[in-house]
Structure 1
Amino acid sequence: MFNVLLVDDEPWVLEGLRTMIAWEKHGFRVCGEASSGRDALRMVQDYRPELVVTDIRMPMLNGLEFMEQSNRMLEKPPKFVVLSGYDDFEYARTAMRQRAAGYLLKPVDEEEMDALLAILSRKIKGEAAAEDRYARRQQLAINHMINRLLHGEYREDLMAQACRLLNIQGRERICCLLIESAFGFDEMLRVVKGLCTKGEGVCFQDGSGRNGILLIGTDNRPMDGHPEEPVQGIYRRITELTGSPATVCVSQQSEGIRSFREAYVQAAEISQIKQAQGKSGLFFYCGNVFADKRRQLQSDRFKPLLDKVRSQSPEEISANVKEIFSCFAADALDIENIKAQVADLELSLCRSVQEMRGQPDACLENFSEGYGSLGEIHDFSRLQTYVEGMCLQAAGVLRELERQNEGNTIFHVIQYVDREYRNKLQLQDLAKQFHLNSTYLGQLFKKNTGKPFNEYINDKRIEEAKRLLKRSSMKIAEVAVQVGFPNTDYFIAKFKLKTGTLPSVFQKEAGSSAGKEGEEPSC
C-alpha cells in the first residue's frame, strides 16, 4: 500500500477526501491529515508518503510554498495533487513547476479523482520497480567490488573505482561485521538503511554466502577499538526481528580502503571459533583469539550471573558480581575487554526483558539515567557498580513482568487452548502468539494447570473422545480426527494409557450400559 497525506485547512474537505474517495481500490491508504502547510511539512518528513493531496490557499505556509520546500528538503519528494477553489491558470502553472502530478478544482469530482489515482498508482509502481532494479544492479556491483578487495586485489584503478562506487575518499575508518542468523540479505539491507546514515553501512555477501556489513567512517564512542554504535543497534535489531539467536562478529576499526581485507579476516576468525563452539551473541575481535583461551573462560563468568538475574535473586546477584570482578582483578584483565563482555551481558538482559513482553529500550534508558553510559566508564570500581546496578534493576523488571504476565496472559492462553484443543497446537507457536518465551510459557502453564502442556491437551482430547464414544456411533478413526489427534494409532495408545482400556472396548461397554438403562423392567 502507498501512503497518502491529505492537506487542507477546511475540516469538511479533509473528511470528504478521507471518506468519499476509494483510496484502497488503487493501493493507497491515508497515513495522516494536516490543516496547515507547516504541519504538512513536518508530517511529510515523518511519514514519507508517496502522494500528497494539498489545498493551495492556507494560512502561514500555502500549498505551493509547502510543495517547494518539500521538493527542496526531501531526497525523494512525494507526488502532489493540488486542490483549488479558483479556476486560475497561474495557480496551475505554478503548481506544475513544483512537479505537481495533478490539478483539481473544488469540490472534487469523485470520478475525476478516481481516474487520476489510477494513473498515479501505475506511475508510482513503475518508478518503484525501476528503483528496485537499479538498487539491485548497484548492490551486485558493490558486492562484486568488495569481494575483489577482500581477496587482496589492491590495484590503484580498482581502489579508485571502489571509492567512486561506495562514495568514499578511501581514508575513512573501517569496521567489518559478519552475521550468522535467520536473517536474509534483503532484510539486512533494510536494517542497515534504517540504522545507518547514507554511505555509512555497506552490505555484502562473501564467497560462502555469509552476510556482512562494512561500517565506513564510524568513530562514535570507540569500545576496545570497535564502534559501539551502530554495532549494538544492528545486533539488537536483528535479534528483535528474527526472534532467534544471532552471531555477530565485529572486527577492530582500521583506516583506509586497503584495510578491508584485514577487517574481514578478523571478523571471520571470531566467526569460525564461535561457530565451532555453537555460541550466539555479539563478539568483538581482541587480538589473536586463537591464542587467547583465557579470555574465553573470562567471558563465561557472566553466564551464572545472567541465570541469577533471570531467577531474580538479589543477594546472589550482588555476591556473584563481587566474585566475578575479584577474578578479573586477579587476571589483570584490561578494562576495555571487560566492557565488551558487559555490553554482551546488557544485550542478553534486554532479550530477556523483551521475551517477557517488556520494553528493553525503556529499561536501558532508565538505567542510563541512574548509572550513565558504559562508554564513559574507565575504572573497575565504577564498572562493578554499573554491572551490579544493571543486574539488580533487570531482575526487578523481570519480576514485575512475571507478575503481570502470570496474572493476565496465562489466563488467555488456557482459554485459547480450551477452545482450540481440537486443532494442531504447538507450545512454540503459542509462545510466539502471546509474546512469551516458550520455556517460560511451559513452566507457567504447568504451574497454573498442574499438567505439562502436551499432557493437558491430550487429556482434553481424550475427555472429548469419551463423550463422542458414548453418545455417537462414530468410528474410532473418525473420533481421533474429530478431537485433534494426528493419527488413529497415536489416539489409541494415548486413550489406553489414560483410561486403561481401548477406545473400541470403551465404546462397546458404554453402548451396553446405555442399552441396559433403556430396557423395560421384566415382569
Structure 2
Amino acid sequence: MFKVLLIDDEPGAIEGMQMWINWQELGFEVCGTCNNGMEGLQMIQDLGPDLVVTDVNMPLMDGLMMIEAWQKMESKPVRFAIVSGYSEFEYAQRSMRFGVNHYLLKPVIPEEAEEELREIHQELLDASAQQSLTRIASYEEVVSLIKRLLNKQLIEESDRSHLSKVSADKEEWNFCLIQTEPSSFADLRERATSLLEQEDRAYLVDLDMNSFGIVCGYDGSANREGSSCRIMHELKHLYSPYRVFMATGAGESTLLQIECCYHTAKEAMSYQFYDQADHRMISFKSIRNKPFHYHYDQMQLMEGMIAAITLLDKSGFQKAVESAASSFREMLIAPEIVKKVAIHMLYRIIEIMREASEVQAESLIGKYRLSRNSGSLLTLNDVMGDLLSCGEECIDWLLSEQLKQSQGIIHAINSYIREHFAECLSIKKLAEVFYLHPVYLGQLLMKKNGISFHELLHDLRVEEAVRLLGENRLKNSEIAEQVGYSHYSQFLKQFEARKHMSPNEYKKTMF
C-alpha cells in the first residue's frame, strides 16, 4: 500500500474522490486531506505520502507553488498528480516543468482517474524496486569496505571519500561485537538482520566463527561513547533466551576509524569472563581503567587442591576452588591465565585418577573436554565449575573404590580376630599382619562393626567363656586363661560388665 494525500479547496471535490475512487483496490490508502498549498506542504512533511493529488487553483498557496517549494526542500521524493479543469490547461503545461506528468480533469470521472492511478501505482512499484536494489547495493558496498578496514587492507581514495560521505550522516559511529554458541549463531544472526532492515545507517558484518558485528551510527550527545543504541537494547531483549556475549567499543566520528572501535570492543568483550549476567552488554568505557593482571602464584593454590584430593577431602577441595575463584576475581587475573591454571589443574586431577583407573581417567577427559576451556564464550563460573565437578567426581570415585576394597579386607580381619582372639592380640599386631596403619585399621573396624577393636575382642572372649562354663569341666581361672586373659581379675571385670553377674552366679543359672 502506498500513501496518498488529497489537497483541494472544495470540500465536495475531496469527498467525491474519497467516495467514488476505490483507493484500497488500487493499492493506495488516503493518509490525509487539506484545502490549501501551505497546509499541504506541512502535511507532506509530517505524513510522508508517496503520492499527492492536488488541485491547482487554491488560496494562500496554489498547487504548483507548493510543488515547487517542496522540490526545493530536497526532501523525500514524492509523486504529484494535478487536478484541474479544461479552462486551466496552462497549469498542466507549467506542471510539466516540475516533472509532473499526471493530470486529472475536473470533474473527476472515477474510471478515468482509476486508469491514471493504476499507472502511477506501477511507477511507484518500479521506483520502490529500484530504490531497494540501490539500497542493497549501497549497503553491501559499505559492508565490504568496513571488512577491508577491519582486515587492515588498503582502500582506494574514492572508497574513502564514499565512507566519509556515509559517515557525515551521523555524529558518531561504534562497533558492537556479538559472540554466540555454534547452535544458535544462524538464528541470532537472522534476528539481527531482520532488525537492521528497519534502521538507517546500521550494518551487519560477519566476522570469525560464531561471531558478527553491528556497526551503528548515532546522533546527539546522549549516545556518546560507551552507551548502547536502541538497536542494542532490542537485541538484548531478542537474545534473552540464549547465551550471548555483547560488547561495544570506543566511539569514533568516522567509519574510516571503525577498526579502532572493533579492537576496543574486542578488549571489552574479554571482560565478559568475569560478568555474572550473560546478556549484559559491556562497553569499553566501563573497563578502560581496569587492566587485567598476568602474574599469579599458582603453586599454593594447586597444592591445596591436590592435598584435598589425596586426602579424599571433598569439603576441603570445594573450599580450595572457591578460594581460587575469589582470588581470580579480586585480582582481575587475565582470563587466558585463569584458563591455563584450570586446565593444568584438571590434568593433575586426571593423572591422580589414572593411577587408579585408566578407563575412569579417559572418561573424565571426554566428559570435561579440556579443550573447551580455550573457547571465548566462557565465564569464570564455567571454568571453575568444570574444575570443581571434575575434582568432586574424582574424589567420589576414589572413595567408592576404597570402600569396596575396605569391605573385602574387613571381612578377612574379622575372621582373623575370631580365630585368634584367645591369643595375645593387639591392634598393633593386627596392623602388622594386614599391612595397615593402626589408626586407619581401628577406624575401619569401628565403621564396619560399630564397636572398637577392644570391645570386639572382649565380646568374643566372654562368649567363649560362657560356652566353656556350660561344659562345667574347667575351673574359672582355667577358663579365663584359655580365652586369653592372663589375669583373672581382668576376666572377671569384663565378664561382669557384659553379663551383669559373676561367672559363678552365671553358672548357677545354667544348672
TM-score, normalization: structure 2? Answer: 0.48
* Rg larger in structure: 2
| TM-score in terms of structure 1 length | 0.47
